[in-house]
């Protein structure tokens, strides 16, 4: 049973070597580092790292993100995994996690995670600053506001009812995993903004008893 979780962005800006000294990106990373540190400090032993992907499958627990396609250094000495879950692995590394990991990308459905904690990497809508379609931008803002409300209220199951159609919410399959794992939770929202036209959320959760 999942007892605790953290939600962080799955974006390349989570790797400092890709953004330099950009203060907005640094603020997102700082919040994500805090969320990961809290998750590790809670004493969890097995963390499932989950991000959306083109296929639902488990990846090597030793896998890391290869940043070379994004202009960063090439990965050496570890198997490459998709960016989202690779960023999750980096967060756990930096937080000093020494327990077991389960690494999943999800295209649809809810995999059997076999963990007591969850680290979800997922973004909100990537249509937050559209100038060509005001209606689409408004829908994107409303979608992200609904995700924010689900988090703040600790009613994560309501995220499963949202409609991401046409809103470029590539992380929605991972958000659905979070909603299924912790339908109701005590939540702490650490970050919520769209500094680059994409909705980013950072939060921590514990199962509500």
Q: What is the CATH number of the domain that holds 183?
A: 3.40.830.10
- What's residue 21's pLDDT? 82
- What is the predicted pLDDT for the residue at 188? 98
Tens-digit pLDDT profile for residues 66-83 = 888 888 888 888 888 999
Closest listed residue to residue 50, CA positions, set 182, 154, 152:
182
Would you state the pLDDT for residue 131?
A: 66
Comparing CA positions, the residue from 62, 44, 61, 59 lying closest to residue 99 is 44
The kind and range of the H/E element at 190 are strand 185-193
The dihedrals phi and psi of 9, each to the nearest 5 degrees, come to -65, 155
pLDDT in tens, 154-181: 999 999 999 999 999 999 999 999 999 9
Sequential pLDDT tens for the chain (209 residues):
999 999 999 999 999 888 878 899 999 999 999 999 999 999 999 999 999 999 999 999 999 888 888 888 888 888 889 999 999 999 999 999 999 999 999 999 999 999 999 999 999 999 998 665 688 889 999 999 999 999 999 999 999 999 999 999 999 999 999 999 999 999 999 999 999 999 999 999 999 97
How many domains, the chain? 1
Are 172 and 52 spatial neighbours (Cβ–Cβ below 8 Å)? yes
Phi and psi angles of residue 25, each rounded to the nearest 5 degrees, phi first = -65, -40
β-pairing verdict for 100-106 and 200-207: unpaired
Distant-in-sequence, close-in-space partners of 20: CB < 8 Å, separation ≥ 6: none
User: What's residue 126's pLDDT?
Assistant: 94
Phi-psi region of 6 (alpha: psi -120 to 50; beta: other; left: phi over 0): beta
Q: Which tokens go with 7?
A: 């939600």
Give the phi and the psi of residue 195 in degrees, each rounded to 5.
-65, -25
Q: Do residues 141 and 161 make contact, with C-beta atoms less than 8 angstroms apart?
A: no
Pairwise CA distance, residues 185 & 172, whole Å: 19
pTM confidence score:
0.94
Where in the sequence is the domain holding 42, given as residue range(s)? 4-207
**146 touches 162 (CB < 8 A):** yes
Average pLDDT of every residue of the chain: 94
């Amino acid at each position: 049973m999942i007892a605790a979780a953290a939600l962080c962005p799955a974006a390349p800006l989570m790797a400092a070597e890709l953004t330099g000294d950009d203060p907005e990106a640094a603020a997102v990373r700082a919040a994500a580092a805090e969320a990961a540190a809290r998750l590790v400090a809670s004493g969890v032993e097995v963390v499932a790292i989950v991000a959306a992907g083109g296929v639902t499958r488990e990846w090597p627990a030793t896998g890391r993100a290869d940043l070379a396609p994004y202009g960063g250094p090439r990965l050496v000495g570890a198997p490459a995994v998709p960016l989202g879950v690779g960023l999750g692995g980096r967060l756990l590394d930096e937080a000093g996690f020494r327990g077991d990991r389960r690494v999943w990308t999800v295209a649809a459905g809810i995999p059997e995670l076999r963990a007591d904690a969850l680290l979800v990497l997922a973004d909100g809508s990537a249509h937050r600053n559209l100038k060509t379609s005001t209606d689409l931008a408004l829908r994107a803002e409303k979608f992200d506001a609904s995700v924010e409300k689900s988090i703040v209220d600790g009613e994560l199951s309501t995220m499963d009812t949202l409609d991401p159609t046409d809103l470029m919410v590539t992380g929605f399959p991972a958000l659905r995993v979070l909603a299924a794992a912790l339908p109701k939770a005590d939540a702490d929202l650490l970050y919520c903004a769209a500094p680059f036209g994409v909705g980013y959320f950072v939060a921590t959760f514990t199962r509500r008893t």
